[in-house]
Amino acid sequence: MRREAPAAARNRQPILDALRPRLPAEGLVLEIASGTGEHVVHFAAALPGLTFQPSDPSADARASIDDWVRMQGLGNVRAALALDAAGDAWPIERADAVLCCNMIHIAPWEAAIGLIAGAAHVLPAGGTLYLYGPYRREGRHTAPSNEAFDRDLRQRDPAWGVRDLEAVMSLAEDRGFGPPEIIDMPANNLSLIFKRT
């Protein structure tokens, strides 16, 4: 049941390094699209003052997440929630921070719209929305590898694809987030840190 993704094992430490100084010392962190669960257990073990709420619409993913948490004996991770970012009502009312890695390019654009709207709903003023993944900037891919990845995604599903940073920023602005802090990450990915105003 426990699944592994080589990319998650590679990027979890750089993501944690970006998150650590930007998350509150305590509170509830909602992760959207937790996937295998390798990220959430890594973050929760390193940040014991926080409680983590993982989620994923896939039952297989939720089983993997819960299995990783059980195996590591972590007391600060809740059972994974069934949460579709594009769904109308999220099964959680409040969180102090929302994280989402590598989802909005592997889902229809409606998932990005729902993610930003849902995060705006659950976060208090000053709450953090953290996004990680590849983005186009000013209409261009930032690396040939991202362009090839984008082609591959669109062949798998025409509704998928590497998103434009400016389009995501515009969605966020419409929902009451300020301009993001942008951090260049390994392998041509970006961290975007939005604050709810």
Between CA 90 and CA 83 the distance in angstroms is: 6
Sole binder of ligand SAM in the list 2, 3, 5, 14 (CB under 6 A): 5
Between CA 76 and CA 49 the distance in angstroms is: 8
Between CA 23 and CA 98 the distance in angstroms is: 10
Helices (H) and strands (E) in the chain, counts: 6, 8
CB proximity list for 91: less than 8 A, separation 6 or greater: 81, 82, 83
Sole binder of ligand SAM in the list 85, 95, 112, 162 (CB under 6 A): 85
Smallest distance from the beta carbon of 87 to ligand SAM, in angstroms? 8
Total of chain residues touching ligand SAM, rule CB under 6 A? 20
3-class DSSP assignment, residue 180:
coil
Q: Which residues in 26-65 contact ligand SAM (CB under 6 A)? A: 32-35, 39, 56-58, 61
Residue 95 burial class via C-beta count within 10 angstroms: exposed 0-12, middle 13-18, buried 19 and up: buried
Between CA 124 and CA 145 the distance in angstroms is: 37
Q: Which residues in 60-79 contact ligand SAM (CB under 6 A)? A: 61
How many residues does the structure list for the chain? 197
Smallest distance from the beta carbon of 111 to ligand SAM, in angstroms? 4
DSSP label at residue 21: G
Sole binder of ligand SAM in the list 45, 106, 117, 185 (CB under 6 A): 106
Please identify the residue of the shown chain whose CB is closest to the bound ligand SAM.
Answer: 35
Q: Which is nearer to ligand SAM, 50 or 111 (CB)?
A: 111
In sequence order, the β-bridge partners of residue 64 are: none
Smallest distance from the beta carbon of 58 to ligand SAM, in angstroms? 4
Q: Which is nearer to ligand SAM, 84 or 96 (CB)?
A: 84
Smallest distance from the beta carbon of 173 to ligand SAM, in angstroms? 21
Which positions lie near ligand SAM, rule CB under 6 A?
Answer: 5, 8, 32-35, 39, 56-58, 61, 84-86, 101-103, 106-107, 111
